[in-house]
Structure 1
């Protein structure tokens, strides 16, 4: 069993793929408690395969995935769910559950086989709704929500799970601008709660906003890994996306604040 606050999720020299055919080769990755890693790369590069392997849906062809030095294959599904939560790009349910109940489902991993959610579980769910500023949706039917609202609810459910690591698959892809900013703020605040985050995104600016480490994938391999200032250069962005991009500092009171990306449209 994994104990202590300073745990890490690791993938070491892993080949990933299906039916013995590797899509990704020699992938090594470490995510520590309280750390954010942004995953970038063109469509079809293998991000979904990486996520499925970390989540235990498919085994690595070679190498190993572990949490706190324990291979994930040794965890029961319930114990693994206490450690890792997942927020997909889209989620659909045919039943008109209320939002507060969908979020409460995240507490299932903390209950016994015939356990029922108690006062503490409902308080944790309510806190997640408040944290994401969607408490006003609590009595709404999940099936009646917009795509962006559903995304926020599933994020709240993951928080209610109280896992040590959260994997986010393009968490802002269906959100309006205001909710995108709110989600990025919340993700950044999770570092203070010693939660490790792995999120995929097509927006390099997210890595700069979050002060996250960056994992850049291209052509089935890990192309760059490190701090955003060193990894998200115009040369790297040109290499993986095929477009010219300027990367420059945004000054705040005359002092460089953070870098931003701007595509060159008249190239």
Structure 2
């Protein structure tokens, strides 16, 4: 069985068609979903999702795209309250996005403040994290070491090279490999793959985002985790079931203190 280690079931259009989306995933051998939040408005929806589906592992946090509209103190109060009552919850999707070259130093610092504060709570409550990164891997690693974070997690949609990956792997993080593999110009990720071991990666979709050519729908969905696994299987010359087993074992390694509740 496959785990989609990063999908946004809370977002349109997946939320509007949730039973259909989950049934389609089940039909494609995808039986568990790790679902991050993006902003505070997601928190209540996430709790509803977990009540309805035991096949979901939730993560709570504020994405760097949405920190400008969030208050740090209120965010931390809400996040800590959730972590106290939700022992299965991870912290995410958090991180740093410095892809905009015109980003001001003040906004970069605001991102760092939000990231480190949420990271501190994750360390305090011993939760793995789901990390967003763009042009920020080295700065994020500095924050990880500064906080003394030791809970591991997932580097969503990993886009760095193997040299950048090694310190993260040593810290117990797994690299998210996803729908970018289905894009014809994904040269960078294919340069990384020969250097990875079977214990280094997890498969993901980022649904409904990261659409690719020849999709049957206008949006990505968790059922496409199978396509990601098949692409990796072709590359490594193994079965997709072997990729699924590797990825699932790696998810469990990260969530060792937070076991999945339904398989």
TM-score band, normalised by shorter chain: 0.3 to 0.5
What's the TM-score, normalizing by structure 1? Answer: 0.38
Q: Please say which structure displays the higher CA radius of gyration.
A: 1
Higher strand share: 1
